[in-house]
Structure 1
Amino acid sequence: MKGARNGPLWRCLRYLRPHGWFMAGAFGAALGSMLAGLAMPVILQRLIDGPLARQDMGALPGLIAGFALLGAVEAVLLGARRLLVVRPATHLETTMRAHLFQHVQRLPASFHSHWSSGQLLSRTVSDVTEIGRFFAFSAVYLLVNVAALVAGLGVLAWLSPVLALVVLVTYLPMVAATVFFEHRFRTVARSAQEQSGDLTTTVEESVAGIRVLKALGRCPETVRRFTAQARALRGTELRKISLTAALWWTATALPELGIVALMGYGGYSTATGHLTLGVLMAAITVATYMRWPADTLGWLVADASTAAAAATRYWQVRDIPLAVSDPATPQPLPRPLRGELRLENVHYRHPQGADAILRGIDLTVPPGTTLALVGATGSGKSTLVSLLTRLDDPTDGRVTLDGTDLRDLTLDTLRSAVTCAFDDPVLFSGTVRHNVALGLPDGTRDDESVHAALRLAHADGFVAALPEGLDTRIGEEGTGLSGGQRQRLALARAVLPGPAVLVLDNALSALDVHTEREVEAALRTVLGQVTTVLVAHRPATLRLADRVALIADGRVAATGTHDELMATHAAYRDLLESPVTAPTETNGTPRHGTARKVQAR
């Protein structure tokens, strides 16, 4: 029993508890309609063996009225069941979706590196729909139909124990077939749902990357891959249908066989005087009534198997522990916030990875200074900056802000103090204003500060030229904007909240030389006011930094100013001059004045 209560569908029952009385009412209404339907054959037996057999017309109106009343009660209760079940079922779907979405939002960035968006989408939408449909319809009728079969056998036993035994013998193989097919069906249903998620991923990736596919001439190949996946899904669905058909055939044929056997034995017994005609007619009516619960048992069990597979997939994601979460006893940030960052013996290993990505990183970034990170692809730069906002947590060591371990801060507190702009700027379907002010709480957004951030990112010119300015709606992922325009909006979004720490992960990589110079000139003012960590390879951008840290194989290989490293470190010089990272422009202006030191500890 304990194992059953830990089953995936059983765990979903918690979402029905707020509306438990509605579910109880729906079950009661369905049960009442079933009992009303089963009582009607009993009245039929009384009618045949009473007034009709004895030609007693006095009892006829009462029996007919009772028959009509039972029919009306059955119809009313069926309608009531549908009305009562809507509220708990829709509450279940809405809440389960919200909880899954919230959980996915709180999972670390490493989770998203090995889970496709299509699989998450299918679990959030189609799987939850399957679960809701099961509890709204199939779960109630599965219980009621089993109860109807048991009650029907009870009525038959009351009419004639032998007739009940005849029907029971034909129903037992149906129970065995249901158990046999259910396990197979659940396996195939799970496979179909996984394939559906993969198909969704292919569609989503193809739509998002349509320009790349067209440019590379890969659309035909993508169509072939999609077609192959669709055909594989079709094959799995056909196996589902074959199993369902076999179960339906069993659930349909055996009850029909039971009715034939009942008519044969009952007809013989009536002819020989062992049964009355009323008992025979009532028994046939009960057996016929039981046929519908028996017929539907096949697809109800199939639906339960599909819902169980969907619930398994749902809890597969919900049960992933939150590696990055708020502490039990959060600490406040010191006021005033200075913005000193320290990385102390930081190590990081991907949960599914064998090798460490970061190995003993020790860096200190004094308040108001800028540290640039430089390294070859795969050296660990982006992983390092992801730790600064707790997109992931270090597997060893710690990162502190003004002496406070980042893991001792709530995520809201940390991310109000540290903001990021990434090399792949993500924009959302909505207005320009909404995208730029995304990092501000509702009610604190004003156009003046938005315009100031746009001016800093040199995005005010093209935004003003848009048809509706700040109110212009941009497409999903910034469709219709150039890469440089998207990157400037993302940069404006990062600087708008006025953070103590600004993280720029190749945030200027998509800008042309002229725009980059203008943005860098504007950034000089900002960089003197906040602590900044930036990932870059262009010398002009690197000269914005007080110090540069060369990251190699997950370690700090060297630190110094850009000019110092160019003069003294061959690996740094080779990296910037290599064809992969060679900048398009090298005439940046060095920063003047005494730079505060970024120490490599």
Structure 2
Amino acid sequence: MTKRQFILHYFLLNKWSYLIAFVCIFLVNWLQVEIPRYIQQAIDLLGTAEAAAQHDLNRNVMFVVVFSLIMVGVRIMSRMFALNPGRITEAQLKNDLFFRLNRLPNAFHQKFASGKLISIINNDLNGIRLFYGIGFLQLVNVIFALSLTPIWMWRISPSLMLYSVIPVVLAFFVFNQGFIRMRKYHTQRMHRLQRLSEQLMNYLSGIDLIKNQQMGPWVKQEINRVNEELLDTIMRVTRIQTFIMPLLDYANDLMKVVILGLGGYMLLQQNLTLGEITAFLSYSALLALPLAQLGRIAVVYQMGMVSVESVQSILNAEIPKIDLQASSESESSTTQTLSVRDLTFAYPGQDSPTLRNVSFDIQPGEKVGVLGSIGSGKSTLVNCINHHLDVPAGHIFWGEEDIAQMPRRHWRRFIRTMTQEPYLFSDTVEANIRFGTEGESIDRGQVEEVLSLSQLAEDVSRFQSGDQTLVGEKGIMLSGGQKQRLSIARALLSPADLIIMDNVLSAVDYETERKILGGLFNRIGDQSVLVVSHRISALESLDKILVLHEGEVIARGTHEELLANSDYYRETWELQQHDVEEQV
């Protein structure tokens, strides 16, 4: 979508509201230029003592009062119908952006930091809201004011009108130069604001590390540097707005001086009446606000154009075509087999692949484990299976379907992935468990059941407000083990054909681990499970275990078979048994 198409698309979203606002603004401006005409006639009738003149005077005054009252009502309507579209467009754009961000692949999010995306949604959308709201109102108002008012001034005196606009023309020349420079600084301001937001997000996420490593002074220095750059850009914009944009206001004041001086001379020469001079001054006053608004329109326009470019970086990002397809709404089937065939995966820019020729099957209801040390490729394998990473076609199948040819939303209806570092929302324990199940009929008893299965019920019972306790941002009020168990409870609440557990029990002790796995396997029944861990105690009761080392499967079999046939597995088991004995 080009910039022109973008502007037109969201403009047509509120076309009827804009049409009503357009008519109302025209009526307001027409009434504004009509009122001085009746004032002119009333002033010229003041020196006449005839009865007919008195009647005309009263009639002119009545028109002024009635037109003024009508103008107040119409002006209110013009504000309503012109400003509301800005808010409506902002709301629609937020929905469109979230829709897009939710469907863009992982490759996009690796390029755009969360802080930058937050800055676009929170800050840049303000510029678009002003562009479609106050920007439209002021632009249409200026167009009508600068077209109707000079016509009525021309009717009174063409020569006086031409002389009076000379200051305005000169001011416009200087104004245009400031307008060009301001566009550059607004773009610079947007990028520096995004950079500041990005850094703040990074530092807040690593606040514990910053405190532990005494990095506070360095962080403060970095924030100050970026903040000073942003301040410098804002001050440049402010100088233009302060010293160049007000030139139009000064031009209007100079125009009034010309009108009084030249108009007074023409009055003495009896080329103009006192009423005409008064009307001419009234028209010049009507031009003051539109001329002042030109500076604000320039600011709003620049902010809007820069914001549109920023938002388009998200809206124009390409969603894989397969993810745009409508997913099937059929119920998932527990009779499917997950097949991984000769999977080799390398991250962009990586010389050697992280996974090499990995192959295995998970039959319906089968419990499979993956053992591997840090850096062996476990999490990469998980992210390939749940299609978080872009997997080449022909390597991972769900039954007969290639997951690379399935929409991600459709595929993730069949699986649940529990990660080592779950994301928790700043809400209650219960709300975090229920997250994503709003459309399902889940009673409180089911919530309590999964709390018990995840070995979290006893901890929750000690909380002051039970499962209504707020966990804080990212679950800051919970320990690492409690976070992991809460994520397990969340995954168990709604059924899935395949459950993937990616090292989710690393923060709990061995006894709690056994209890959780025992309850988990009893709960899920014939559902398939893939347990990824570096601890053999989490895998020894599974149907099959794969040993992953440096991206390759070097052994496979049951716990007993691997102890007998795999030196790597047996040595790892002996080391971990020693750790268990020390804990006991």
Shorter-chain TM range is 0.7 to 0.9
Deviation at 1:584, TM superposition (A): 8.2
Does 2:512 align with 1:487? no
Q: Give the corresponding residue for 1:193.
A: 190
**Which runs of structure 2 are paired with 1:552-563 in the superposition (5 Å)?**
552=550, 556=553, 559-560=556-557
Q: Give the corresponding residue for 1:550.
A: 548
Deviation at 1:485, TM superposition (A): 0.8
Structure-2-length-normalised TM-score:
0.87
Contact 1:538 1:585 in 2 (8 A): no
2:394 counterpart SS class? strand
Deviation at 1:227, TM superposition (A): 3.0
2: CA distance, partners of 1:257 / 1:318? 47
**Which runs of structure 2 are paired with 1:562-581 in the superposition (5 Å)?**
none
Does 2:386 align with 1:392? no
1:494 counterpart SS class? helix
Q: Give the corresponding residue for 2:26.
A: 31
Contact 1:550 1:572 in 2 (8 A): no
Contact 1:119 1:198 in 2 (8 A): yes
Give the residue type in structure 2 aligned to 1:585. Answer: D
Give the residue type in structure 1 aligned to 2:37. Answer: V
Contact 2:115 2:201 in 1 (8 A): yes
1: CA distance, partners of 2:376 / 2:165? 71
**Which runs of structure 2 are paired with 1:150-549 in the superposition (5 Å)?**
150-323=147-320, 326=323, 328=325, 330=327, 336-346=333-343, 348=345, 358=355, 361-375=358-372, 377-407=374-404, 409=406, 411-523=408-520, 525=522, 529-545=526-542, 546-549=544-547
Give the residue type in structure 1 aligned to 2:33. Answer: L
1:248 counterpart SS class? coil
2: CA distance, partners of 1:159 / 1:359? 87
Structure-1-length-normalised TM-score:
0.85
46-55 vs 510-519, which moves further: 46-55
2:397 counterpart SS class? strand
Change (3 A) 1:111 1:371: farther
**Which runs of structure 2 are paired with 1:129-148 in the superposition (5 Å)?**
129-148=126-145
Give CA deviations for 1:51-107 in whole Å, capped at 9, x if unaligned.
Answer: 547974342212222222232233222222233345433322222222222322222
Deviation at 1:503, TM superposition (A): 0.7
1: CA distance, partners of 2:578 / 2:476? 26
Deviation at 1:339, TM superposition (A): 4.0
Change (3 A) 1:147 1:449: same
Deviation at 1:9, TM superposition (A): 3.7
Does 2:96 align with 1:96? no
Deviation at 1:351, TM superposition (A): 6.7
Give CA deviations for 1:34-54 in whole Å, capped at 9, x if unaligned.
Answer: 222222232233334455479
Change (3 A) 1:335 1:195: closer
Contact 2:334 2:364 in 1 (8 A): no
Q: Give the corresponding residue for 1:81.
A: 78
Change (3 A) 1:376 1:27: farther
Partner residue of 1:45 out of 40, 45, 54: 40
Change (3 A) 1:587 1:538: farther
RMSD over aligned Cα, in angstroms?
A: 3.4
372-381 vs 125-134, which moves further: 372-381
Give the residue type in structure 2 aligned to 1:447. Answer: R
Structure 1: gaps (5+ residues): 589-601
Contact 2:548 2:554 in 1 (8 A): yes
Contact 1:370 1:527 in 2 (8 A): no
Q: Give the corresponding residue for 1:13.
A: 11
Identity over aligned residues, as a percent?
A: 23
Give CA deviations for 1:297-352 in whole Å, capped at 9, x if unaligned.
Answer: 11221122112222222222122222385463645778742241112344556578
Contact 1:487 1:508 in 2 (8 A): yes
2: CA distance, partners of 1:583 / 1:238? 65
Structure 2: gaps (5+ residues): none
Give CA deviations for 1:234-269 in whole Å, capped at 9, x if unaligned.
Answer: 222111111222332322222223333333333333
Does 2:574 align with 1:585? no
1:473 counterpart SS class? coil
2:360 counterpart SS class? strand
97-106 vs 164-173, which moves further: 164-173
